[in-house]
A and B are shown apart, each in its own frame.
Chain A
């Protein structure tokens, strides 16, 4: 079985192999890909909502506003060019994340407190 594997680690590999920019790097009209993160008014975190094409940060911001915030009030927007995002390699998930699984004392539920202080 011959599987042609193409993996894309945003930002970790050279321009011409980066996700979304593979073909025709000499194409004069290629607009880079940007990732969009939004925090809603009540929210605490910026969440990834999708991506879009833009030539610069200003355009990316406006496009993000036009596409992703039509039904929201009072949000915060982050836009990042996709090539600048470095993501963890899923094959390394074992060594990166599993050690945390058995250190359960880091979780508040590990501690059995008397009722009077259980709201803590």
Chain B
């Protein structure tokens, strides 16, 4: 059993699932109907990605593992999503800013990953790239609209940057399984993604009349199972049915 590859895949799956779950909280509560549909669409795309990655991880693990056993029965410390995606959805500014940070990261990551030596990962990355391209476009436009909109929206964007910026370093600090995957050609060297990621952020922020904060980034290691208090709350809801009625079909 290739534990590194499994962990690598679970990280990708968990990121998409947890963010998909957070975004779906907007369903029925969006600021305008058309955007309710847009954010829900993104949520659906992310859950689709998660399912693909979980299904692959399940085949790697073998035994009785399924996409659902991985999503519904693992404990908090076994989840490998980064801290950024488990943060609350906040207001619209926070949601679209987080989406922008994440989508730009996924875009760069999947662009590389589609050349992975691992056929499955390559296939999933290639398939997901189209929708990620759309997520990136949609969220960057919103960053610009809100950054360069009204005084209120500008202030809210500043607050959102203040809240979320510190978690972005985790995108580029590799865990042991990421290093392993990169070195054997199945994964991506994420430290190399930092510069292009920053360039895009700078480009969009500039048009949005926003600035990159000079703050220190904090070291977070959700990817290694060390989560903030938020993941526990998310999993309580997400896993509720399967834990309350174990062993059932739905």
A77 an interface residue at 8 Å Cβ cutoff? no
Contacts A31-B32, A53-B32 given; does A67 touch B37 at CB 8 Å:
yes
For the complex, give the distance between the alpha carbons of A63 and B30 in Å.
14
Closest B residue by C-beta to A67: B37
13 contacts across the A-B interface (CB closer than 8 A):
A52-B34, A53-B34, A54-B34, A55-B145, A58-B141, A59-B34, A62-B138, A63-B35, A63-B37, A63-B38, A66-B38, A67-B37, A70-B41
How many positions in chain B have a CB within 8 Å of any CB in the partner chain? 11
Closest A residue by C-beta to B36: A66
Closest A residue by C-beta to B137: A62
Closest B residue by C-beta to A59: B141
* Known contacts A58-B141, A66-B34, A66-B38, then 14 further A-B pairs from the complex at CB < 8 Å, ordered by chain A residue: A31-B32, A52-B34, A53-B32, A53-B33, A53-B34, A54-B34, A55-B145, A59-B34, A62-B38, A63-B37, A63-B38, A66-B41, A67-B34, A70-B41
Chain A interface residues toward B at CB < 8 A: 31, 52-55, 58-59, 62-63, 66-67, 70
Residues of A within 8 A of B138 (CB): 62
Residues of A within 8 A of B32 (CB): 31, 53
Q: Write out, one digit per residue, whether chain B residues 32-64 have a CB within 8 A of any chain A CB (1) or not (0).
A: 111101100100000000000000000000000
Residues of B within 8 A of A67 (CB): 34, 37
Residues of A within 8 A of B35 (CB): 63
For the complex, give the distance between the alpha carbons of A67 and B33 in Å.
10
For the complex, give the distance between the alpha carbons of A62 and B41 in Å.
11
For the complex, give the distance between the alpha carbons of A106 and B99 in Å.
57
Nearest 5 CB-CB pairs, A to B?
A63-B34, A66-B38, A66-B37, A66-B41, A52-B34
